[in-house]
Amino acid sequence: MDTTAPAPTPAPPPPPAPPTDAQQRRAARAATRPGDRVFLGLSRGSGILLLVIMAAIAAFLTYRASLVLAKNDGNFFTTFEWNTNLNPPDFGIAVLAYGTVVSSIVAMVIAVPVAVGIALFTTHYAPRKLGGLIGYVIDLLAAVPSIVYGLWGALVLVPHMNGLFGWLDHWFGWTGILDWQGGAPRSLLTVGVLLAIMILPIVTNVSREVFRQVPQMHEEAALALGATRWEVIRMSVLPFGRSGVISASMLGLGRALGETMAVATVLSPTFEIHASLLDPGGGTFAQNIASKFGEATDQGRDALIASGLVLFVITLLVNGAARAIIARRKEYSGADA
Amino acid sequence: MKLQRKNRLRALSLGVVAVSGALALSACGSDDTSGGGDSTASAKADTSAIKCDNAKGDLLASGSSAQKNAVDAWVKNYTAACENVKINYKPDGSGAGVTAFLQGQTAFAGSDSALKPEEIEQSSKVCKNSQAIDLPMVGGPIAIAFNVPGVDKLTLDAKTLAEIFDNKIKTWNDPAIKALNPDAKLPSTKIQAFHRSDESGTTDNFTKYLKEAAPGSWKYEGGKAWQAKGGQSAQGSSGLAQQVKQTAGAISYFELSYAGDGIKTVDVKTEAAEPVAATTENASKAIAAAKVVGKGKDLSLQLDYSPKADGAYPITLVTYEIACEKGNKADTLPATKSFLNYIASEDGQAILADAGYAPLPAEIATKVRSTIATLS
């Protein structure tokens, strides 16, 4: 819009009394070169286009979701069913929300400590060359497509989980959470382990970059005070890197929440919730959409779109929470170092 | 010195390129002549009976993935004979196939279940004052595969199957299974019944069988999504086959063609004297006993799920091709008719058994052919 105004030839524009700052702006614009203005227009146009596309997608999704939600016989939030071909349809997201959150939490519990460990080892313990090599290999993990993880999980990981499941059941079965009925080990715990491997690269890499940024002075000062290497890490590296590690974990969590094909291949999804993490069952939003979409009727697709909107909201909430945590820990961000 | 070495290197690399290039070219050449000669000869032998009827152009179709392997084989033979026709069958699933057809995007659709009344009503839009019809084309047994250590042969009936898949029968040495298999050494292993986690025509047909043949034990509505509680699930027929292979105590259902590699299948006890094995031949016998229930030219079939005939395998799936009775698009009609004619012909049906499918019994095939001849 601004590009259409013929700025370089404004011979007679001054009306009675234009405000001074507007005049200045116009003068500044006249001074800019055409290339700058074209670029300004292009970038502003792309920005607006992005907003329009996002709004259109959101409106479309909300509209399609509202069509089927009006007909839904069950309660969208508490029904343990997904029968969208019935008339009226009967479906709810309780199982999907539970499965998505639980498998992601399991993944985080396993992946974050390991990732921080690898990041510390490669930046502070390993010889420089070895650290670089390990970092490179971890990067390669991120390049493996998720369906390959899924195939590996189904063919290699699942059969090998039998031993671990037996052990957990033997020693921790009394907790109820780790009680095993003896089904094939294709449960939320297995999915969590697989997701942990999948999100390891991103958490490790971001943590590594953060730990590398720790001011040398901090570490040297701690060493000068007689700290051991572990004390240096505990007193200067970890507090400095905390917000970075949290944002890295949130990036990983975002991937875990949305992972589709690997979960669909490894999990044994059913519309039930079991207290035990070892019993097959549950499901995730993305897995459910991927497996139901192909044969779904229009009504079924609308229902899947509605469930996708919930995943979107959950992801937004998680990101918001992460930003809040990071904002509260600003004093460690290193800006004053 | 340096310059000389560089030149020598360059000459050497040029030589390498030239030699390897020549080798590659000659290899290609010899491959082409021998391979090309063979394939045209065999194609001619197979496809001499195909009538192209001046058909030409692109034929788009989509639908059931259950008949994908059959369609692939047909397309290969057909396009070898009729070079002016290109056929593109997308195995997106029956639901997607019917939807695309009703929107007028495809010339015909493949589907595991016959059209519903409301779908036939909708079809008058694409078929210009006419309607879409179901043409049965491929049958296939849905095998019940099991993995029970120490058991090679297993007989089950509809009621036990329903109770196993509904998690009422929980171990392999349950009295109900013992009664059907007095000679087998059944272990006390827990039964792990696997069903499809995605929506599927196979699930639809299998649960239809359970509902019809064991109404007292199977109380679910049926449909493409699995409705019983409990059990385990996996993605796709291949996923189920994989689970049966690696899980002791597993039982599951999928098209026979996935049951290779030493996967054992259940013999189903019907009203007949002897339990029936899941074979393409026995599935054809079941289709022969089916009734045509479609109205007018529609040939949708109603299978008898408790057959009295010997050797009729009751858990059988029939997949249809769906096309307009009248009002097919002028530019695709010749190709559609010619292709459907071929796949319903004796030659077309003959290649099915090799791919794990059941050919149509003669009586139904004749009806299908005469119906195709009237498409307009």
Closest residue in B to A297 (Cα) is B95
In this prediction, residue A27 has a pLDDT band, given cuts at 50, 70 and 90, of: low
Q: Is B200 annotated as a binding residue?
A: yes
Same domain, B104 and B206: no
**What does the pLDDT read at residue A334?**
47
What percent of chain A stands above pLDDT 70? 88
Residues near A323 by beta carbon (within 8 Å), at least 6 away in sequence: none
- Say whether A86 and B221 touch across the interface (CB within 8 A): yes
B198 at interface of A, judged by CB pairs closer than 8 A? yes
Examine the fold and report which residue of B256, B284, B312 is the final residue of a domain before the chain moves on.
B284
**What does the pLDDT read at residue B221?**
84
Examine the fold and report which residue of B284, B309, B338 is the final residue of a domain before the chain moves on.
B284
The answer for A 57-116 residues in CB contact with B (under 8 A) is 82-86
**What does the pLDDT read at residue B142?**
93
> What would the mean pLDDT of A22-48 be, rounded to a whole number?
82
> What whole-number distance in Å separates Cα of residue A26 and Cα of residue A18?
11
In this prediction, residue A20 has a pLDDT band, given cuts at 50, 70 and 90, of: low
**What does the pLDDT read at residue B207?**
94
Q: Is B201 annotated as a binding residue?
A: yes
Domain that holds residue B252: 142-284
**Domain assignment present for B295:** no
Residue with tokens 């990041």: A119
Residues of chain B with pLDDT under 50: 1-3, 15, 17-19, 21-45
Question: What burial class does residue B132 get, using C-beta atoms within 10 Å of its C-beta: 0-12 exposed, 13-18 middle, 19+ buried?
Answer: buried
Q: Which residues of A touch B230 (CB under 8 A)?
A: 270, 272
ipTM of predicted complex: 0.72
B231 at interface of A, judged by CB pairs closer than 8 A? yes
**What does the pLDDT read at residue A65?**
92
**At the fourth CATH level, which superfamily is domain A82-333?**
MetI-like (1.10.3720.10)
> What whole-number distance in Å separates Cα of residue B10 and Cα of residue B14?
6
Task: Tell which wins on pLDDT, A9 or A278.
Answer: A278
When mean pLDDT is compared across A19-33, A216-230, B245-259, the lowest value belongs to A19-33
**What does the pLDDT read at residue B229?**
84
- Say whether B96 and A295 touch across the interface (CB within 8 A): yes
Residue with tokens 């045509």: B292
When mean pLDDT is compared across A99-103, A209-213, A320-324, B76-80, the lowest value belongs to A320-324
Number of domains into which chain B is organized: 2
- Say whether B225 and A82 touch across the interface (CB within 8 A): yes
A303 at interface of B, judged by CB pairs closer than 8 A? no
Q: Is B66 annotated as a binding residue?
A: yes
- Say whether B198 and A292 touch across the interface (CB within 8 A): yes
Report whether A259 contacts A196 (CB < 8 A): no
In this prediction, residue A145 has a pLDDT band, given cuts at 50, 70 and 90, of: very high
Same domain, B154 and B93: no
Examine the fold and report which residue of B231, B263, B284 is the final residue of a domain before the chain moves on.
B284
Min distance B171 CA to chain A CA atoms (Å): 12
Angle between helices A238-258 and A94-120 (to 10 degrees): 140
Domain boundaries, chain A: 82-333
Same domain, B124 and B155: no
Residues near B261 by beta carbon (within 8 Å), at least 6 away in sequence: B245
Q: Which residues of B touch A158 (CB under 8 A)?
A: 246
Same domain, B24 and B112: yes
Q: Which residues of A touch B201 (CB under 8 A)?
A: 295
- Say whether B200 and A295 touch across the interface (CB within 8 A): yes
Q: Which residues of A touch B229 (CB under 8 A)?
A: 270-272
Tell me: the pLDDT tens digits for A79-90?
Answer: 888 888 777 888
In this prediction, residue A1 has a pLDDT band, given cuts at 50, 70 and 90, of: very low
Q: Say if residue A3's pLDDT is above 90.
A: no
> What would the mean pLDDT of A130-136 be, rounded to a whole number?
91
Report whether B307 contacts B289 (CB < 8 A): yes
Report whether B364 contacts B142 (CB < 8 A): no
Alpha helices (runs of H) in chain B, residue ranges in sequence order: 2-47, 68-81, 94-102, 117-122, 158-165, 175-180, 201-213, 236-246, 280-288, 333-344, 346-350, 362-373
**What does the pLDDT read at residue A30?**
62
**What does the pLDDT read at residue B261?**
75
Q: What is the pTM of this model?
A: 0.77
Same domain, B126 and B163: no
**What does the pLDDT read at residue A25?**
66
- Say whether B95 and A265 touch across the interface (CB within 8 A): no
Give the rounded distance of the alpha carbon of B355 from its chain centre. 9
- According to DSSP, residue A215 is labeled -
A301 at interface of B, judged by CB pairs closer than 8 A? no
The answer for A 136-175 residues in CB contact with B (under 8 A) is 154-155, 158-159
Residues near A193 by beta carbon (within 8 Å), at least 6 away in sequence: A106, A107, A110, A157, A161
Same domain, B78 and B164: no
Same domain, B54 and B69: yes
B95 at interface of A, judged by CB pairs closer than 8 A? yes
CATH code for position B132: 3.40.190.10
Closest Cβ opposite residue B96 in set A84, A155, A294 = A294
A191 at interface of B, judged by CB pairs closer than 8 A? no
Closest residue in A to B95 (Cα) is A295
Residues near B113 by beta carbon (within 8 Å), at least 6 away in sequence: B94, B201, B204, B205, B320
